[in-house]
Amino acid sequence: MKYVTRILVALAVVLVLVYAGDDLAVRIPIPKSRNPLGTVRITSYYAIPQKNRKTEFYLADPVNQTCVHSLFPHLGYSPCWYLEKKKIQRIDE
């Protein structure tokens, strides 16, 4: 049981260190020319259910969403790698 708690504590410490390093890389970009923020073009569509049990779809205008080049969300922005996977978003009405 002693080894399990040591492994869990070590895993938690590593996770905190990775998150802290990721946050520092966003806040203090090295090299200075690197921009920690980026943009991803998101296309949304509305899915509106009809009375006849069918769904009608309406495309919304594409918008550019700000993201951060990191592993985890920082500064209130989602990571760019995550938004790249979710470029098309469905909005249920």
Number of residues written out for the chain: 93
Number of domains in the chain: 1
Question: CA 13, CA 92: separation in Å to the nearest integer?
Answer: 40
Quick: pLDDT tens for 26-54: 999 878 888 999 999 999 999 999 999 89
What pairs with residue 80 in β-bridges? none
Mean pLDDT, rounded, of the chain? 92
Question: CA 92, CA 86: separation in Å to the nearest integer?
Answer: 16
CA atoms within 13 A on the CB side of 45: 10
Kindly report the pTM of this predicted structure. 0.77
Domain of 46 in residue numbering reads as 2-92
Using CA of residue 75, residue 81, residue 87, residue 91, what is the dihedral sign? Answer: negative
